[in-house]
Structure 1
């Protein structure tokens, strides 16, 4: 009976698995382009379990940080386009092409956009001791006292740098940029009085705002009651964002499947309080929307970097 069953099975046509469709037994490697503890890493670990459920497999975050996200991006750029390796990256995707030379991959062609996951408004903050309560007051103070015109960021070309550069350019104010090693160092420098102002994340600024040590003068994305766009700078919109990418050449059906699972993962109601703490606004709309968004971001960031003459060597 057993021999007969085996012969019958051998005569049946093989069922081919569609190319690029994830097998349930095959784990997915989610490369996080930034170090542990930041918004990118936290989001990856929050969505990985539900993303795995949607794909029917295990999704394991793996931090590969360095060079403003270029190290992790390079890992995924060289991976097989089979859906088993994904990249969770941020706004560096739209900035690094204009600042970095000699990369082993081209940001514009190395990746298949999967979906935007979330946007991250920045908050413009000053020390409470500075004695200004509104953005117009700050700008008037900087014009009257140019020596105060210094601001911090988390690094050259970071969104905290570009947002401040764009705002001051529109206000017609020249200022010194002081890059720090990270968000915590930037805020420490601000509290110490090394700089007068700076954009930072909601997560970093919220405790100090509650304690009254910092004062918020506006948010960098439109839509909020205190947005910079509503304070004399129409259309001002420079925030950070987090998105999912696959290696170029990943089949469209696989990309669509991952995008749908990612949207479900980031929009799960249980995550909303945690995302609110981080200042993350879910924005998963699929590959076509991310491709359009990324094209607009690269155009805007490239123009700003050129106008400001920003280089990685300062």
Structure 2
């Protein structure tokens, strides 16, 4: 977590941030999703701490690559930030001709939050544990169909990784979004799937779905605690700036973001969205991104995942 002494220096605004023009917060996804909501929830507090207006802008498309390309070309002066998700670690392995390099185009500011996924099945399937599900899958020689919100999405990669570790084959069925994925699951078009906690929660309460495991440690029952040690594939949200942004500016942005995401009054809102605050600053995000890109690249290569199917 950013140390409180760093926050104490925030009122001493550096010239690059104490400016008349607003700071542009480029949000890589459309309005209404968790990325957009988090950005708009933290913007007022960050604006207060940085003594400059913050204007959130949604620039969605291509799994975040549209927004990333815009910020990659912005001036490295602290006036433009990117709020992006796990596509930062996936897109480099799936997309060609982007015009920028994810690994070098950005200066890490801070991770903001993590989003655990939950593995769900229809209640009518008759299995109540991960072991029970895997036993049923092993008894059927046909690849089990599973849903996700798209090729290369974390809901896709988490299921592919679990089946690979279990020694099982699956048939990936990509949907246009989480609501469509859940509809397909409830119809019985697919047998299982990872989804967000926020999307699954009402269906779990109604008893229409059963949760068999969570994709990140710290949630019970976790996939890792059910025979798959080290399993940890969730989504996440992070702030990045254009490469070359001065370290002093990065430090102030990171401190302001950490303060904003850890507001006591915001925690329940984040929990309801399935988000867990995780702001630890630029160095931690840099290491995290390098690890994520390597892990996702290895999985994508092993599974032969391509955007064209």
Superposed pair shares fold, TM > 0.5:
yes
Other-structure match for 2:80: 85
Unpaired segments ≥5 residues, structure 2 = 1-11
165, 168, 172: which one aligns with 2:160: 165
Alignment: residue pair count: 298
**Helix, strand or coil for the counterpart of 2:227?**
coil
Which of 1 and 2 has greater Rg? Answer: 1
38, 41, 47: which one aligns with 1:46: 41
Deviation at 1:26, TM superposition (A): 2.7
Instruction: Please provide the CA RMSD for this pair.
Output: 1.3
271, 275, 279: which one aligns with 2:270: 275
Deviation at 1:20, TM superposition (A): 6.6
**Helix, strand or coil for the counterpart of 1:198?**
strand
- The within-5 A match list for 1:293-308 is 293-308=288-303
- The within-5 A match list for 1:208-223 is 208-223=203-218
The alignment's TM-score, normalised by the length of structure 1, stands at 0.93
Structure 2 CA distance for partners of 1:20 and 1:250, relative to 1, 3 Å: farther
Deviation at 1:24, TM superposition (A): 4.3
**Helix, strand or coil for the counterpart of 2:200?**
helix
Deviation at 1:75, TM superposition (A): 0.7
Unpaired segments ≥5 residues, structure 1 = 1-16
Whole-angstrom distance in 1 between the partners of 2:299 and 2:132: 25
Whole-angstrom distance in 1 between the partners of 2:162 and 2:41: 33
Q: CA contact under 8 A between 2:16 and 2:79: conserved in structure 1?
A: no
Whole-angstrom distance in 1 between the partners of 2:19 and 2:91: 35
Q: Structure 1 runs of 4+ off > 2 angstroms?
A: 17-21, 145-148
Whole-angstrom distance in 1 between the partners of 2:114 and 2:59: 21
Whole-angstrom distance in 1 between the partners of 2:131 and 2:55: 47
Residue 291 (structure 1) aligned with residue 286 (structure 2): yes
Deviation at 1:57, TM superposition (A): 1.1
Other-structure match for 1:11: none
Deviation at 1:145, TM superposition (A): 2.3
Deviation at 1:225, TM superposition (A): 2.2
Other-structure match for 1:251: 246
Deviation at 1:174, TM superposition (A): 0.3
Q: CA contact under 8 A between 1:20 and 1:250: conserved in structure 2?
A: no
**Helix, strand or coil for the counterpart of 1:113?**
strand
